[in-house]
């Protein structure tokens, strides 16, 4: 298969997606509106490949070959000419809708469209384009090079040929696909983010402090990370956005975002990327320090 791929968004998710595609031998154009973000995305991919070589999981020749499949571009026109587009911009429906509106007139006839949204309606985003039958959700987990799962989500109009093509792509990437219906937050985040929100409620109500809640879930439920540590890793703004999607889309009070989560986001304490969230990451010598 010689499919070439356009990835929109060079942040942590977009660069990770670009990396797994080039490692699988796809030619990838990575796009971002910010040249700084684009350069940072490329450097992130190069560093990750270097670490993979250092760990003996890939040869230097294989890493160099993967990187040779990657090209950077600030042009949406170049993305439109690819055969498969993976949109991985920030989890904001207004931004995503604008991307697909701007991209649609530039698309080649055969191009398949996918979005890496973690919670938004595939059907609604597809309606922004001229090809809802060739549009679907392709939701990778973070960090993309490490995590095995990819959620496949059909919109109401997605045709069978598109689904088969994208399922084949996931297989070539060496990932495992799960199929979800197009309901708010799909499967993983429908279950995961309310669990995180409940952990924030436990903190808010004084059931336990940050350390006791995370230790309890790591050792008592055998989770790899505590829910508050995981929230910091995901980004508290992303967690809040997904809770709002669930709350708005399903209308059940159990999806009401915890006021403490809202407060942290209002403070700009968004987790690791802001160096403060439920933990304070500003002093590398002391390591993460609980903020409550």
**Contact of 275 with 282, CB cutoff 8 Å:** yes
For residues 81 and 217, give the distance between their C-alpha atoms in angstroms, rounded to a whole number. Answer: 47
Is-catalytic flag, 266? no
Q: Of residues 15, 119, 189, 197, which has the active-site annotation? A: 189
The 8 Å CB, 24+ separation contacts for 261-265 are: 261/197, 261/200, 261/231, 261/236, 264/236, 265/236, 265/237, 265/240
**Contact of 233 with 225, CB cutoff 8 Å:** yes
Give the residue carrying structure tokens 């808010």.
204
Is-catalytic flag, 83? no
Q: Of residues 88, 139, 197, 229, which has the active-site annotation? A: 139
Work out the burial of residue 291: count CB atoms within 10 Å of its CB; fewer than 13 is exposed, 13-18 middle, 19 or more buried.
middle
CA atoms within 13 A on the CB side of 182: 19
Q: Of residues 87, 91, 151, 229, which has the active-site annotation? A: 151
**Contact of 244 with 205, CB cutoff 8 Å:** no
The 8 Å CB, 24+ separation contacts for 50-57 are: 52/145
Q: Of residues 15, 118, 119, 180, which has the active-site annotation? A: 118
Backbone angles phi, psi at 86, to 5 degrees: -115, 110
Is-catalytic flag, 151? yes
Is-catalytic flag, 212? no
**How many distinct helices (H) and strands (E) make up the chain?**
12, 10
Nearest in space to 3 (alpha carbons), one of 155, 134, 176, 168: 168
Enzyme catalytic residues: 118, 139, 151, 189
């Amino acid at each position: 298969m010689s499919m070439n791929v356009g990835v929109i968004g060079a942040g942590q998710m977009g660069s990770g997606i670009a990396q797994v595609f080039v490692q699988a031998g796809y030619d990838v154009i990575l796009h971002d509106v910010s040249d700084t973000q684009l350069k940072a995305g490329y450097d992130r991919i190069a560093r990750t490949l270097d670490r993979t070589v250092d760990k003996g999981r890939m040869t230097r020749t294989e890493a160099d070959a993967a990187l040779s499949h990657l090209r950077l571009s600030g042009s949406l026109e170049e993305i439109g000419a690819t055969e498969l587009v993976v949109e991985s911009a920030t989890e904001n429906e207004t931004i995503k809708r604008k991307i697909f509106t701007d991209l649609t007139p530039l698309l080649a006839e055969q191009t398949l469209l996918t979005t890496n949204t973690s919670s938004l309606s595939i059907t609604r985003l597809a309606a922004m384009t001229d090809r809802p039958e060739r549009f679907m959700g392709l939701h990778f987990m973070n960090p993309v090079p490490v995590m095995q799962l990819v959620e496949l989500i059909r919109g109401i109009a997605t045709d069978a040929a598109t689904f088969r093509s994208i399922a084949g792509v996931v297989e070539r990437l060496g990932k495992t696909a799960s199929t979800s219906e197009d309901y708010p937050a799909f499967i993983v985040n429908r279950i995961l983010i309310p669990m995180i929100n409940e952990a924030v409620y436990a903190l808010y109500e004084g059931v336990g402090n940050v350390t006791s809640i995370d230790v309890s879930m790591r050792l008592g439920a055998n989770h790899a990370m505590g829910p508050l540590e995981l929230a910091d890793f995901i980004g508290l703004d992303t967690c809040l956005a997904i809770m709002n999607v669930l709350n708005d889309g399903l209308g059940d009070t159990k999806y009401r975002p915890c006021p403490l989560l809202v407060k942290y986001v209002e403070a700009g304490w968004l987790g690791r990327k802001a160096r403060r969230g439920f933990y304070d990451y500003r002093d590398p010598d002391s390591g993460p320090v609980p903020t409550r």
